[in-house]
Amino acid sequence: MTSIAGRGYARADVLVDTEWVAQHLHDPAIRIVESNEDQLLYPSGHIPGAVQVDWAADLNDPVRRDYLDRAGFEALMSRIGVAKDTTVVFYGDKSNWWATYAFWVFQLFGHINAKVMDGGRLKWEQEGRPLTREVPAYPATSYTAPERDDAHIRAFKDEVMRHQAAGLPLVDVRSPAEFSGERTHMPEYPQEGVLRGGHIPGAKSVPWARAANPEDGTFKPAADLRAIYEGEQGLKPTDDVIAYCRIGERSSHTWFVLTYLLGYDHVRNYDGSWTEWGNSVGVPIEK
């Protein structure tokens, strides 16, 4: 595998490899964050010094379907020992799709000192690197965050409706069976959470996992990514793009790829995604 710097990414600085993380395990300016779909993975063994950020318990409001607010984010950052100048490095399972989801939420609050460990848990484990069950405790910080910025990298249903009506690019990152309406969730999951299957009319089907190498979860080189998104789908870095999936986690992976690895100017993640769209009255659907 070519080094991260040699893969032609627009922002190679947002990725670090496993060796870099291994060399920074005891760096007080670095906070390693594990974020998984499988919530049992972290307690079963994690990178030494890593803290867990649970997508359901830590990033979401417990009542409203929304993310935590500014006070909640400040409390989270204080609890995991992150200051404004701390570099947060995310990794996780599923080729980092939940790591990029947490990364995306952190960007809603402007924590730009953030990176993703290329390959996630899979690559770390494949290389036989150390795992521990010891849960670290860091001194609490005093973290001041801005109000959550939903305007620039997040899309809401009404915005998606206007976007679709204007014929602007939409990327559906779900599986082909979900895109066609045959299924309402990924094949290996219970078919739940939505009344109608299908996709937003005009959306381009680019399953999120095409951007990753299946053997180790790393991101494909920029040339391969451009062949997928630009060669096959006709997207351009200047396009106004909205990505969506079922609840916004897989599409955060595609948002990360388009924004940081390919340097697209304006990409938003529609986190309401198909669970909102497929349950809404009066919205257009194609199968």
Residue 47 and residue 124 in contact, taking contact as beta carbons nearer than 8 Å:
yes
Where are any strands of DSSP class E within 133-239? 170-172, 204-205
Q: The tokens of 151 are what?
A: 């305007």
Residue 46 and residue 122 in contact, taking contact as beta carbons nearer than 8 Å:
no
Angle at the Cα of 246 (from 116 to 240), degrees rounded to 5?
A: 70
The residue from 102, 117, 245, 258 that is catalytic is 245
281 is catalytic: no
- Who's near 188: CB < 8 A, 6+ residues apart? none
Gyration radius of the chain's alpha carbons? 18
Task: Match 């053997």 to its residue by tokens.
Answer: 215
Q: How far is CA 269 from each of CA 56, 228, 244, rounded to the nearest angstrom?
A: 18, 19, 6
Residues belonging to the active site:
245
